[in-house]
Chains A and B, each alone.
Chain A
Amino acid sequence: EPEVTQTPSHQVTQMGQEVILRCVPISNHLYFYWYRQILGQKVEFLVSFYNNEISEKSEIFDDQFSVERPDGSNFTLKIRSTKLEDSAMYFCASRGLRGGNEQFFGPGTRLTVL
């Protein structure tokens, strides 16, 4: 069964460093999303991406964040200068054009900022 994959599973970085989180959505999906979940808290929407552009973003998704679909399979989230409060699980999700509006999530990347 097709699934969303994410790499790395765990990323440790120093405050102020740039990180890139990678996702491979399900192959025929056209809508892509990033969410974060701080330990013990709810899943929070960051950004949605469709037709090679951001379709919506939350207040969390400030100038330190960017997304890109560099080729036909990868979808990335870049954090330019990480802060301690960026430590969280980051989930990628994708949705197909047909069928319901449900999104399918990857296993997540745990980001730890020291």
Chain B
Amino acid sequence: EDQVTQSPEALRLQEGESSSLNCSYTVSGLRGLFWYRQDPGKGPEFLFTLYSAGEEKEKERLKATLTKKESFLHITAPKPEDSATYLCAVYTGGFKTIFGAGTRLFVKA
């Protein structure tokens, strides 16, 4: 069965304290891995798509990387406005996308 697991469930950082979020997946035929940001009561906001092992994408303080079994979202020198839930999702080439449970990030000033 296709599965997506994110860790940690929650992460508390001080402003400027860099860290990484993990997304491990077990799927048959990965066609894409997505990272989304979700603020409370809002819809997921698209951040990145990764397609193959070794691929990296960057946007401001965020950098996403992909291996054959997991993806990392690295956050460099986070600010309080980076506080949100970060969702990982995998697309297996059918018309279905499977989401992980997310990592809730809290960045304190």
Q: Which residues of A contact B (CB under 8 A)?
A: 4, 31, 33, 35, 41-45, 48, 50, 55-56, 58, 89, 91, 100-108, 110
Contact = CB atoms under 8 A, between A and B. Distances in A.
A41 B95 CA distance: 22
Top-9 shortest CB links A-B: A48-B95, A105-B43, A56-B95, A55-B95, A43-B99, A100-B49, A42-B101, A101-B32, A105-B44
B85 to A, nearest CB: 10
Interface of B: 31-32, 34, 36, 41-46, 49, 51, 87, 89, 91, 94-102
A100 B95 contact: no
Contact of A48 (B31, B96, B98): B96
Chain A CB within 10 Å, residue with most, of B31, B34, B36, B44: B44
A57 B52 CA distance: 26
A25 to B, nearest CB: 13
Chain A CB within 10 Å, residue with most, of B51, B95, B102: B95
B98 A106 contact: no
B42 A108 contact: yes
A4 B45 CA distance: 11
Given A100-B32, A101-B32, A31 B95 contact: yes
Given A41-B101, A101-B34, 9 more contacts: A42-B99, A43-B89, A45-B99, A48-B95, A100-B32, A103-B46, A105-B36, A105-B44, A105-B45
B34 to A, nearest CB: 6
Contacts of A102: 32, 34, 46, 49
